[in-house]
Amino acid sequence: MKTIDALFENSSHSLDDLAAASGLAAERVAAIIDGRWLPTPTERTSLALALGVDVSQVSWGHTMNPRNVRYHRYGLKEDFGRE
């Protein structure tokens, strides 16, 4: 089982190609690949078909820490503001 970003990187698709093949907006596909958006079952099926794999062969979980996405910060909370 591979993550969607690994499958995308190993494919010959560009982001626009994958979006067109899956019928999804390029912004949504980018968010899914970046791990910022958890796809619906329909989106999962569309992306898997576009990549030529079975939907069960893809790991679909979030790959980014939500705190880092929201605050764009890394490290311990105690260290924030010590710049």
Torsion, Cα of 53, 58, 62, 63 (10° steps): -90
Residue 71 has pLDDT above 90, yes or no: no
Q: Report the alpha-carbon distance of residue 18 to residue 52 in Å, rounded.
A: 11
Domains located in the chain, CATH noted: 2-79 (1.10.260.40)
pLDDT per position as a tens digit, 14-52: 999 999 999 999 999 999 998 888 899 999 999 999 999
Report DSSP state, residue 61.
S
Predicted TM-score (pTM) above 0.85: no
